[in-house]
Structure formats: structure tokens, C-alpha cells
A and B are shown apart, each in its own frame.
Chain A
Amino acid sequence: AQSVSQHNHHVILSEAASLELGCNYSYGGTVNLFWYVQYPGQHLQLLLKYFSGDPLVKGIKGFEAEFIKSKFSFNLRKPSVQWSDTAEYFCAVNAHGGSQGNLIFGKGTKLSVKP
């Protein structure tokens, strides 16, 4: 069965620090990959997605993620975080071409940015 692992449950950073959130998935075929963000009190929003092509994907608000197929990874990065990046971040995987279109989510990583 497919699964998604997010390595850190809670990350605490100071403003201007660099961020990298880990995400690994277990599925041997072609995948679509996503990062979603949930700001406090708000609904889930798509941060970025990878379907094919350049494995370095740029999303909103200065976030980017790199798909490394050999490592089954899709880590999220931001060079300099802001207090407003405080949120919970979810990695998700969809098995491309399968009969099911449903996403499998990781358990999430809470990011707290100290001003």
C-alpha cells in the first residue's frame, strides 16, 4: 500500500532561517506529488505540485520542492522563512494513471516561526 512519511512532527525556526521539510513516499510507479499548507484557522491550500518535467518545482510564497525519484523524496524548501509561514504542512502523493484519484497524505509537519 502507498504511504507518505513526513520526518518532522514539529519544526521551530527563527525568522530568516532556512527551511527544509522532508517527505518520502512508498510507491514504485509514476506519481503526482503535492504540498498543501493549512494556516491557523484556515482550510487546506495547495502550495505546489509536481506532475512531470523539471523536478524542481516552484510554488507560492517563495516555496519550492525537489522531486528525487531515486530517493522517493519530495522535500519542501524555503530559503528564508517569515512569521507568516507558521502553519501545518502536508505532503501528499497520488498514484498516476491508477483507477483511483485519491491522494494519500502524510501526517503533517507543524512549523512555528518565532519573530
Chain B
Amino acid sequence: DGGITQSPKYLFRKEGQNVTLSCEQNLNHDAMYWYRQDPGQGLRLIYYSQIVNDFQKGDIAEGYSVSREKKESFPLTVTSAQKNPTAFYLCASSRVNYGYTFGSGTRLTVV
């Protein structure tokens, strides 16, 4: 089955640590996206990538970093510079200008 796999499902981070969230897709989609979902705030775009080796900042990129070395993979690193990292993180992929396919998400908690 084609789809998007996010791992881990739950992640706990100590203050000051960097953590990396995995996102892999086998849909052969060119574009991939990272969103953050907070209660009452909908989905806010962190980073997106339209092609391999290229990515752009979204609305709330501060404290995050990404890479796109392969078409299938778009990992997100939450750095210690992110002041409020506790949230639900969603990865998505699409063909450009079409609807998205979402992963099942990673819930990150700072302890």
C-alpha cells in the first residue's frame, strides 16, 4: 500500500535536546510538508519541499530544520532553539497543486 509513514508515534524530549522526526513516503510525490497542529490553532506550516535538495521555510520555521536528500524522505529536526516544541507534528506529501496525503503524526512532549 502507498502512503506516508511517520515515526515515532510518541516522542519525549528533554529540554536542550535536539530530536529528529522521521517522514517517509512511497507515493512518488514530489512535494513534502511539515505542519504543526496545536489545539484551536489548526495546522501551521513549518517547512516544505517541492523537489529533492530544495526546501523553503513556512510560517513558523524558527527552531526547526529539515533536509531533503531523497525524494522519499523529509526528516524534521526540532532544535533546542524551539521555545515551545510540545505539539502534534504532521507530515504530508502531494503532487504540486493537488490535495495532500497525511501521515498519522508524531506527538512530541518536552519533559
Inter-chain residue pair count (beta carbon < 8 A)? 54
Total number of A residues with any Cβ neighbor in B under 8 Å: 24
Using known A-B contacts A43-B102, A43-B103, A44-B102, determine if residue A97 contacts B42 with beta carbons closer than 8 Å.
no
Contact with A along B7-46 (1 / 0, CB 8 A): 0000000000000000000000001010100001111110
Q: How large is the interface on B (under 10, 10 to 19, 20 to 34, 35 or more residues)?
A: 20 to 34
Of A11-19, A66-74, A78-86, A101-109, the one contacting chain B is A101-109
A96 and B97 contact, CB distance less than 8 A = yes
Max chain B CB contacts within 10 Å: which of A32, A96, A102, A103? A102
Chain A: interface secondary structure?
loop
Q: Closest chain A residue to B39 by CB distance?
A: A108
In the assembled complex, which residues on chain A have CB atoms less than 8 Å from the CB atom of B100?
44, 46, 103
